[in-house]
Structure 1
Amino acid sequence: MTSTPMTITWDEAGETRSALWHSSNGAPAPRRIVVADDTLTAQDAYKLATGGTAMLWRGDYHNARQLLGAMARRVPDPAKAKRGAAPATVAQDFYRYRQGRTHRARILSMLLVPVDPGPVVALRRAPDVTVAWLNAFGPVAEPVLVSLQELLGAIGAQQWRTTGLHIDALDAKIHPHYGTFAPVRGEYLNLVAQADLHGADTAFDIGTGTGVLAAILARRGIKHVIATDSQARAIACATELFQTLALDGRATAIEQDMFPAGRAQLVVCNPPWLPGTPQTLLDYAVYDPKSTMLRAFLAGLPDHLNDGGEGWLIISDLAERLGLRTREELLGWIADAGLEVVGRADTVPTHGRAADADDPFHAARSAEITSLWKLRAT
């Protein structure tokens, strides 16, 4: 998701200056910008940000990072803020929590840094961001302004990409690209790695992301796997993974919204698990507005399965435990699509948040079950 490039202006040193606004999340450009430097206090910065005024940083880069941290400490913790609120359902609590997180992100996005062609961050003691920026956003042809928060996200993503993430189900590392969700939860990968393939030799992986599920299927012996995703950055990531693992003769990634043409013996989908509105690129791997992708997968599945073929829906029941969706709704969508459940494999979470008693939704997360639903056309 990228925003249409637009020019923003501000007053500095007695003249009007301009640059392109950059936001990979499609965030609107700030309406008011003031120039700030190392003399700005955290309290004043927080007041400006909460009032809707962005600060274009002209001081030391490391001081800007410290200021951002100090601003973050002043933002009310949404987990604590809800404790004094009126009694609510778990779903209402979760909605309030997300509102708080969105508010926090908006406040922190008000600290801006200049990036010149190169790309180079035009600040004292700024790091070399060339590789991180190019991999995340592409070339810079003219000066741009970007939130420091987003720049730090690109730098962190490059570290992930360089270091890689070991996937036990592949016995190999993957290298997630910026904006492509890293599969840090191995339990759902193991479900796909262990489920009976019933001799399938063709498979579709819908919404492939990094391509990890398609790679697992190809590694297990499926001869032809087509992986689809609507995001070009995901296709580039998946293609790179297939080439690195020498699976490009078996697995192919194509830019496509949902299903490719034709049918397969096995069709796999791991849609976003929670109904909700995405706010960032990574949110698209977590939040599915009105369960749109989940419902589209179920509705389209019968037309893309070979006779006797199976669809595998990999999804957590966290949405049900948070009161965002019911099991009856899910089963109703399966039946309405002309599908029947022929099997299910369950697993419990092993990630750190499930054991974090300080998480405001610990009860739901600790009881969460992730399932691989096996579906066939009736």
Structure 2
Amino acid sequence: MSVQIPLIHWIHRGQPQQALWRSESGAPAPRRVEVADDTLSADTAYRMACEGTGLLWQGDFQNARHLLQALMRRVDKKPRKSATKASQKLAAATPAEAFHLHRQAQAQRARVLAAVLIPLEGDYSIALRRAPDWREACTEAWGPATGERRVATLRELLGLVGAHEWRKKGVEVPALGAPPHNCIHPHYGVFSPVRGEYVDLVAQTPLPGTSLAFDIGVGTGVLSAVLARRGVQRVVATDQDPRALVCARENLQRLGVLPQVELLQADLFPAGRAPLVVCNPPWVPARASSPIEHAVYDEGSRMLRGFLSGLKDHLEPGGEGWLILSDLAEHLGLRPRDQLLGWIADAGLVVSGRRDVKPRHAKAADAQDPLHAARAAEVTSLWRLRVA
């Protein structure tokens, strides 16, 4: 069944215009679209953006970037009275309430900043004055151009270009060895292994065997690469996301370990059993607002519970399941430790060991972060699970 791609409509110089609407997050096209150019003031643009109006840019491209920066300053600057009320509300909130307030604020900010819209021609070129050539980045993210005009938010395009540059440069992963043979090149829409502590746990925990391992949710392929570099003869890696599988294949090929890894599109487990099954599921049980957020947010702990409930049927006798999981959800009051332990027991599993590490990411040390208390207490663990 074909998917109906939404259209976005506007009037320019008295003529009706339309183009395909492109949104990575799946956000609907704005119901009202006004043509905007260099004469539009930032204050007026902010008012219109708050009302839900899309600003279809027809002026100088660099001025569109300046306008987006101006919108950021306005949306991040709260009136003193509102800021005081917000601070009081946060102070009185439980950790879970603070998290949901934070997510609501993030969503509102994203809606305002998504107001600046950029038209793209059928070959992904941008026919605006002083516009950059982002055709290669668009092709990487969206596939070959189809000849049809599109409209995307400037903010999404900037993220797309940032991902393109990150893909070219790569991310060093010390657990994979010395440069230049230790880089992972994340693709657009695939979560980057910037939180290296979970990779280190997989690199340092004693292996129960080296004949075979399953890597559930392969992502960029980093954990499969670590296992292969550690001497695991064969790794079967799965993921639901076609982008992740393409990304993993390229990374594993570049690192020279692809012959040891079989990649499959699957929800959780491949067929059969293995002496080692590894999974690093999303760690926060909340709804994702874009595809890439599925690496962090797992509504209802679906992937975590699916991994635990199915692990027993995919472990060889004496084998181990490695669950790599941050306890941030516990500090946010979203999933108590007793609940996790209950799921493990209900799945017919026991904990044979655990290795812990403190996260090293910047937010863990940012006292201005609304969730700082939870992030500062966060620990990432590798749970070694066996059949009871």
Q: Check conservation: 2:208, 2:276, Cα contact below 8 A.
A: no
Runs of 4+ aligned structure 1 residues displaced above 4 Å come to 76-81
Q: Deviation per CA, 1:15-69: give whole Å up to 9, x if none.
A: 2111111112211111110100001111111111111110100011111011001
Q: Check conservation: 2:221, 2:248, Cα contact below 8 A.
A: yes
2:302 paired with 1:292? yes
Q: Deviation per CA, 1:105-157: give whole Å up to 9, x if none.
A: 11111110000122201211111101110011112321011010111110000
Q: Check conservation: 2:282, 2:296, Cα contact below 8 A.
A: yes
Q: 2:374 matched to which residue of 1?
A: 364
2:153 paired with 1:147? yes
Matches within 5 A, 1:1-378: 4-76=4-76, 82-85=86-89, 87-141=92-146, 142-171=148-177, 172-378=182-388
Cα offset for 1:77? Answer: 6.0
Cα offset for 1:76? Answer: 4.3
Take 1:178 and 1:4, find their aligned partners in 2: how far apart are those partners? 23
Q: Check conservation: 2:7, 2:19, Cα contact below 8 A.
A: yes
Give the match's secondary structure for 1:208. Answer: coil
Q: Provide the alpha-carbon RMSD of the alignment.
A: 1.6
Q: Check conservation: 1:202, 1:264, Cα contact below 8 A.
A: yes
Of 354-363 and 70-79, deviating more is 70-79
Take 2:17 and 2:331, find their aligned partners in 1: how far apart are those partners? 51
Q: Deviation per CA, 1:179-228: give whole Å up to 9, x if none.
A: 10011111111000000102231111111110101110011000110111
Corresponding letter in the other structure for 2:355: A
Task: Please report the TM-score for the alignment, with normalisation by the length of structure 1.
Answer: 0.97
Q: Deviation per CA, 1:285-319: give whole Å up to 9, x if none.
A: 11000111100000011111111111000001111
Cα offset for 1:249? Answer: 1.0
Take 1:332 and 1:107, find their aligned partners in 2: how far apart are those partners? 42
Give the match's secondary structure for 2:39. Answer: coil
Take 1:23 and 1:4, find their aligned partners in 2: how far apart are those partners? 13
Q: Which runs of 5+ in 2 are unaligned?
A: none
Cα offset for 1:4? Answer: 4.3
Q: Check conservation: 1:239, 1:252, Cα contact below 8 A.
A: no
Corresponding letter in the other structure for 1:242: L
Give the match's secondary structure for 2:138. Answer: helix
Cα offset for 1:332? Answer: 0.5
Corresponding letter in the other structure for 1:361: L
Say how many residue pairs are matched: 377
Q: Check conservation: 1:82, 1:93, Cα contact below 8 A.
A: no
Q: In 2 relative to 1, CA 251–82 (structure 1 residues): closer, same or farther, beyond 3 Å?
A: farther
Q: Which runs of 5+ in 1 are unaligned?
A: none
Q: Check conservation: 1:298, 1:334, Cα contact below 8 A.
A: yes
Take 2:228 and 2:205, find their aligned partners in 1: how far apart are those partners? 14
Q: Check conservation: 1:24, 1:137, Cα contact below 8 A.
A: no
Take 1:353 and 1:42, find their aligned partners in 2: how far apart are those partners? 30
Take 2:162 and 2:203, find their aligned partners in 1: how far apart are those partners? 29
Corresponding letter in the other structure for 2:86: K
Give the match's secondary structure for 1:376. Answer: strand
Q: In 2 relative to 1, CA 183–77 (structure 1 residues): closer, same or farther, beyond 3 Å?
A: farther
Corresponding letter in the other structure for 1:202: L
Corresponding letter in the other structure for 1:162: K
Q: Check conservation: 1:177, 1:237, Cα contact below 8 A.
A: yes
Give the match's secondary structure for 1:85. Answer: helix
Task: Please report the TM-score for the alignment, with normalisation by the length of structure 2.
Answer: 0.94
